[in-house]
Amino acid sequence: MNIIVCIKQVPETTEVKIDPVTKRIVREGVKGVINPYDAYALEEAVRLKERFGGETTVISMGPPQAESALREALAMGLDKAILLSDRQFGGSDTLATSYTLACALRKIGSFDIVICGRETLDGSTGQVGPEMAVHLGIPYITFVSRINEVTPEGLVCERLMEDHYETLQVPLPVLLTVVKEINEPRLPSLRGLLRAKKAEIPVWTAAEIDGQPEFFGQEGSPTRVVECWHPEIKSEGKLVHGETEELVQVLYEQLKEKGAIK
Protein backbone atom coordinates (compact mmCIF):
# COMPACT_ATOMS: atom_id res chain seq x y z
CA MET A 1 0.00 0.00 0.00
CA ASN A 2 1.35 3.41 -0.98
CA ILE A 3 0.36 6.37 1.22
CA ILE A 4 1.07 10.00 0.33
CA VAL A 5 0.78 12.88 2.78
CA CYS A 6 0.61 16.50 1.57
CA ILE A 7 1.81 19.07 4.08
CA LYS A 8 2.45 22.81 4.17
CA GLN A 9 4.89 24.93 6.13
CA VAL A 10 3.12 27.90 7.72
CA PRO A 11 4.42 30.90 9.70
CA GLU A 12 5.01 30.06 13.35
CA THR A 13 3.79 33.45 14.52
CA THR A 14 0.24 34.77 14.70
CA GLU A 15 1.56 38.23 13.78
CA VAL A 16 1.33 37.58 10.06
CA LYS A 17 2.63 40.35 7.79
CA ILE A 18 0.95 41.12 4.47
CA ASP A 19 2.82 42.59 1.51
CA PRO A 20 0.93 45.85 0.77
CA VAL A 21 1.54 45.52 -2.98
CA THR A 22 0.96 41.82 -3.70
CA LYS A 23 -1.49 41.26 -0.79
CA ARG A 24 0.31 37.98 -0.03
CA ILE A 25 1.67 36.68 3.27
CA VAL A 26 5.32 37.64 3.78
CA ARG A 27 7.16 34.38 4.44
CA GLU A 28 10.78 35.53 4.01
CA GLY A 29 12.55 35.82 7.33
CA VAL A 30 9.65 34.24 9.24
CA LYS A 31 10.23 30.91 10.96
CA GLY A 32 8.02 28.19 9.54
CA VAL A 33 6.50 25.08 11.13
CA ILE A 34 4.44 22.16 9.89
CA ASN A 35 0.80 23.19 9.66
CA PRO A 36 -0.73 21.76 12.89
CA TYR A 37 -3.51 19.82 11.13
CA ASP A 38 -0.92 18.24 8.83
CA ALA A 39 0.83 16.70 11.84
CA TYR A 40 -2.25 14.52 12.37
CA ALA A 41 -2.12 13.47 8.72
CA LEU A 42 1.54 12.48 9.09
CA GLU A 43 0.85 10.48 12.25
CA GLU A 44 -2.06 8.66 10.63
CA ALA A 45 0.10 7.70 7.64
CA VAL A 46 2.69 6.15 9.97
CA ARG A 47 -0.02 4.31 11.90
CA LEU A 48 -1.54 2.93 8.69
CA LYS A 49 1.89 1.69 7.61
CA GLU A 50 2.35 0.02 11.00
CA ARG A 51 -1.08 -1.65 10.77
CA PHE A 52 -1.23 -2.62 7.11
CA GLY A 53 2.30 -2.27 5.74
CA GLY A 54 3.36 -0.29 2.72
CA GLU A 55 5.37 2.85 2.00
CA THR A 56 4.79 6.46 2.97
CA THR A 57 5.78 9.60 1.08
CA VAL A 58 5.45 13.20 2.24
CA ILE A 59 5.26 16.02 -0.28
CA SER A 60 5.17 19.78 0.10
CA MET A 61 5.07 22.79 -2.21
CA GLY A 62 6.97 25.85 -1.09
CA PRO A 63 10.25 27.76 -1.02
CA PRO A 64 13.56 25.97 -0.26
CA GLN A 65 13.07 26.59 3.48
CA ALA A 66 10.12 24.15 3.41
CA GLU A 67 12.72 21.37 3.35
CA SER A 68 12.94 21.65 7.16
CA ALA A 69 9.27 20.66 7.46
CA LEU A 70 9.88 17.64 5.26
CA ARG A 71 12.83 16.55 7.39
CA GLU A 72 10.67 16.82 10.48
CA ALA A 73 8.10 14.59 8.77
CA LEU A 74 10.80 12.04 7.96
CA ALA A 75 11.87 12.10 11.60
CA MET A 76 8.30 11.18 12.58
CA GLY A 77 8.57 7.99 10.53
CA LEU A 78 7.71 8.83 6.92
CA ASP A 79 9.83 6.93 4.38
CA LYS A 80 10.42 9.46 1.58
CA ALA A 81 10.02 13.18 0.98
CA ILE A 82 9.64 15.39 -2.11
CA LEU A 83 9.79 19.17 -2.30
CA LEU A 84 8.03 21.09 -5.07
CA SER A 85 9.86 24.38 -5.41
CA ASP A 86 9.98 26.76 -8.34
CA ARG A 87 9.54 30.51 -8.82
CA GLN A 88 6.78 29.58 -11.26
CA PHE A 89 4.70 28.28 -8.33
CA GLY A 90 4.77 31.65 -6.58
CA GLY A 91 1.44 33.37 -5.92
CA SER A 92 -0.60 30.16 -6.13
CA ASP A 93 -4.11 30.17 -4.73
CA THR A 94 -5.84 26.94 -3.69
CA LEU A 95 -6.72 26.00 -7.28
CA ALA A 96 -3.16 26.40 -8.58
CA THR A 97 -1.74 24.70 -5.48
CA SER A 98 -4.03 21.68 -5.83
CA TYR A 99 -3.23 21.43 -9.55
CA THR A 100 0.51 21.48 -8.86
CA LEU A 101 0.25 18.82 -6.16
CA ALA A 102 -1.95 16.67 -8.40
CA CYS A 103 0.66 16.86 -11.17
CA ALA A 104 3.31 15.71 -8.69
CA LEU A 105 1.13 12.79 -7.56
CA ARG A 106 0.70 11.70 -11.16
CA LYS A 107 4.48 11.78 -11.53
CA ILE A 108 4.83 9.60 -8.42
CA GLY A 109 2.49 7.14 -10.10
CA SER A 110 0.80 4.46 -8.03
CA PHE A 111 -0.82 5.42 -4.72
CA ASP A 112 -3.68 4.11 -2.61
CA ILE A 113 -4.37 6.77 0.04
CA VAL A 114 -3.65 10.50 0.00
CA ILE A 115 -3.95 12.24 3.38
CA CYS A 116 -4.16 15.97 4.08
CA GLY A 117 -4.94 18.05 7.14
CA ARG A 118 -8.46 19.50 7.20
CA GLU A 119 -7.10 23.02 6.51
CA THR A 120 -4.05 25.24 6.88
CA LEU A 121 -3.82 27.97 9.49
CA ASP A 122 -2.62 30.62 7.06
CA GLY A 123 -5.60 30.20 4.74
CA SER A 124 -8.24 28.12 6.57
CA THR A 125 -10.13 27.32 3.36
CA GLY A 126 -10.02 23.51 3.47
CA GLN A 127 -10.13 23.54 -0.33
CA VAL A 128 -6.79 22.09 -1.46
CA GLY A 129 -7.49 18.46 -0.55
CA PRO A 130 -10.88 18.15 -2.28
CA GLU A 131 -9.60 20.10 -5.30
CA MET A 132 -6.66 17.69 -5.62
CA ALA A 133 -9.08 14.77 -5.64
CA VAL A 134 -11.09 16.38 -8.44
CA HIS A 135 -7.92 16.98 -10.49
CA LEU A 136 -6.94 13.33 -9.98
CA GLY A 137 -10.41 11.96 -10.61
CA ILE A 138 -10.59 10.02 -7.31
CA PRO A 139 -13.15 10.07 -4.45
CA TYR A 140 -12.49 12.05 -1.28
CA ILE A 141 -13.81 12.20 2.28
CA THR A 142 -13.36 15.25 4.51
CA PHE A 143 -13.24 15.56 8.32
CA VAL A 144 -12.12 11.95 8.86
CA SER A 145 -11.82 11.17 12.58
CA ARG A 146 -11.03 7.44 12.43
CA ILE A 147 -9.87 4.88 9.87
CA ASN A 148 -11.37 1.53 10.80
CA GLU A 149 -10.26 -0.80 8.04
CA VAL A 150 -8.26 -0.89 4.82
CA THR A 151 -8.65 -3.79 2.40
CA PRO A 152 -8.04 -4.30 -1.34
CA GLU A 153 -11.75 -3.56 -1.79
CA GLY A 154 -11.54 -0.18 -0.11
CA LEU A 155 -11.40 1.82 3.10
CA VAL A 156 -13.88 2.17 5.97
CA CYS A 157 -13.70 5.33 8.06
CA GLU A 158 -15.66 7.60 10.37
CA ARG A 159 -16.39 11.21 9.49
CA LEU A 160 -16.94 13.89 12.10
CA MET A 161 -20.11 15.94 11.57
CA GLU A 162 -21.56 18.77 13.67
CA ASP A 163 -23.62 16.54 15.98
CA HIS A 164 -22.91 12.96 14.90
CA TYR A 165 -20.47 10.64 13.13
CA GLU A 166 -20.86 9.03 9.70
CA THR A 167 -19.37 5.65 8.82
CA LEU A 168 -18.38 5.52 5.16
CA GLN A 169 -16.86 2.95 2.82
CA VAL A 170 -14.98 4.07 -0.28
CA PRO A 171 -12.89 2.30 -2.95
CA LEU A 172 -9.18 2.97 -3.39
CA PRO A 173 -7.47 5.19 -4.34
CA VAL A 174 -9.00 7.85 -2.11
CA LEU A 175 -8.08 11.23 -0.64
CA LEU A 176 -8.81 11.96 3.01
CA THR A 177 -8.66 15.17 5.03
CA VAL A 178 -8.32 14.46 8.75
CA VAL A 179 -9.28 16.27 11.96
CA LYS A 180 -7.31 16.38 15.21
CA GLU A 181 -9.61 13.81 16.87
CA ILE A 182 -8.04 11.07 14.72
CA ASN A 183 -4.85 10.62 16.78
CA GLU A 184 -2.12 12.19 18.89
CA PRO A 185 1.03 12.96 16.83
CA ARG A 186 4.21 11.37 18.15
CA LEU A 187 7.47 13.13 18.88
CA PRO A 188 10.37 12.29 16.56
CA SER A 189 12.80 9.74 17.96
CA LEU A 190 16.57 10.33 18.08
CA ARG A 191 17.02 7.63 15.47
CA GLY A 192 14.40 9.31 13.29
CA LEU A 193 16.09 12.69 13.64
CA LEU A 194 19.45 11.26 12.59
CA ARG A 195 17.92 9.48 9.60
CA ALA A 196 16.04 12.62 8.55
CA LYS A 197 19.19 14.74 8.76
CA LYS A 198 21.00 12.48 6.30
CA ALA A 199 18.09 11.91 3.92
CA GLU A 200 18.25 13.21 0.36
CA ILE A 201 15.16 15.18 -0.56
CA PRO A 202 14.62 15.63 -4.31
CA VAL A 203 13.37 19.02 -5.51
CA TRP A 204 10.91 18.96 -8.39
CA THR A 205 10.43 22.06 -10.51
CA ALA A 206 7.55 22.99 -12.80
CA ALA A 207 9.37 21.48 -15.77
CA GLU A 208 9.67 18.12 -14.00
CA ILE A 209 6.01 17.50 -13.09
CA ASP A 210 4.62 17.69 -16.64
CA GLY A 211 1.84 20.22 -16.07
CA GLN A 212 0.44 23.05 -18.16
CA PRO A 213 2.38 26.25 -17.29
CA GLU A 214 -0.71 28.46 -17.51
CA PHE A 215 -2.21 26.58 -14.54
CA PHE A 216 0.79 27.14 -12.23
CA GLY A 217 1.37 30.02 -9.83
CA GLN A 218 -0.27 33.40 -10.12
CA GLU A 219 -1.19 32.87 -13.78
CA GLY A 220 -3.24 29.82 -12.82
CA SER A 221 -4.86 31.50 -9.81
CA PRO A 222 -8.28 33.08 -10.45
CA THR A 223 -8.49 34.30 -6.83
CA ARG A 224 -7.64 37.97 -6.30
CA VAL A 225 -7.16 39.58 -2.88
CA VAL A 226 -8.55 43.09 -3.12
CA GLU A 227 -7.67 44.37 0.36
CA CYS A 228 -6.24 43.16 3.68
CA TRP A 229 -6.32 44.82 7.09
CA HIS A 230 -6.05 44.04 10.78
CA PRO A 231 -9.26 44.58 12.79
CA GLU A 232 -9.06 47.43 15.27
CA ILE A 233 -10.31 46.91 18.81
CA LYS A 234 -11.60 50.31 19.93
CA SER A 235 -13.73 49.47 22.95
CA GLU A 236 -12.14 49.71 26.38
CA GLY A 237 -12.76 47.49 29.35
CA LYS A 238 -14.28 48.77 32.59
CA LEU A 239 -13.47 47.48 36.07
CA VAL A 240 -16.34 47.62 38.56
CA HIS A 241 -16.21 46.79 42.29
CA GLY A 242 -19.13 46.04 44.54
CA GLU A 243 -21.54 43.44 45.86
CA THR A 244 -23.24 40.96 43.53
CA GLU A 245 -26.53 42.88 43.34
CA GLU A 246 -24.67 46.12 42.56
CA LEU A 247 -22.62 44.43 39.83
CA VAL A 248 -25.74 42.93 38.26
CA GLN A 249 -27.38 46.35 38.21
CA VAL A 250 -24.31 47.96 36.59
CA LEU A 251 -24.19 45.20 33.97
CA TYR A 252 -27.91 45.64 33.28
CA GLU A 253 -27.53 49.39 32.80
CA GLN A 254 -24.53 48.92 30.47
CA LEU A 255 -26.36 46.39 28.30
CA LYS A 256 -29.41 48.63 28.18
CA GLU A 257 -27.25 51.60 27.17
CA LYS A 258 -25.69 49.57 24.34
CA GLY A 259 -29.09 48.47 23.10
CA ALA A 260 -28.49 44.80 23.87
CA ILE A 261 -31.64 44.66 26.02
CA LYS A 262 -34.74 46.84 26.29
The tens digit of pLDDT for each residue in 93-150 reads: 999 999 999 999 999 999 999 999 999 988 889 999 999 999 999 999 999 999 999 9
Q: Report the number of distinct structural domains present in the chain.
A: 1
Mean pLDDT along residues 180-188: 94
User: What band does 156 get if pLDDT is binned at 50, 70 and 90?
Assistant: very high
More confident residue, 30 or 210: 210
62 in any annotated domain: yes
Q: Residue 106 belongs to what H/E stretch?
A: helix 94-108
Q: What 3-state DSSP class applies to 174?
A: strand
What is the pLDDT, as a whole number, of residue 227?
79
Distance of CA 30 to the CA centre of its chain: 18
Residue 255 belongs to some domain of the structure = no
Return the CATH number at 189: 3.40.50.620
- Burial of residue 181 (CB within 10 Å: 0-12, 13-18, 19+) is middle
Residue 14 pLDDT greater than 70, yes or no: no
In a domain, 227, yes or no: no
pLDDT of 225 > 90? The answer is no
User: Measured between alpha carbons, how far is 67 from 34 in angstroms, rounded to an integer?
Assistant: 11
Share the mean pLDDT of the chain: 90
What is the pLDDT confidence band of residue 6, given thresholds at 50, 70 and 90?
very high
pLDDT over threshold 70, residue 48: yes
pLDDT digits (tens, 9 = 90+) for 18-40: 776 766 666 666 678 999 999 99
**Is residue 230 in some structural domain?**
no
pLDDT, tens digit, 9 for 90 and up, residues 70-102: 999 999 999 999 999 999 999 899 999 999 999
Q: Where are the beta strands (DSSP E) in the chain?
A: 2-7, 9-11, 32-34, 55-61, 80-84, 113-117, 140-151, 154-160, 165-170, 174-178, 203-204
Does 243 map to a domain?
Answer: no
Q: What is the pLDDT of residue 29?
A: 63
Query: Would 76 be classed as within a structural domain?
Result: yes
Domain hosting residue 116, numbered range: 2-220
Please report the pLDDT score of residue 232 as a whole number. 74
Residue 233 in any domain: the answer is no
> Is residue 245 domain-resident?
no
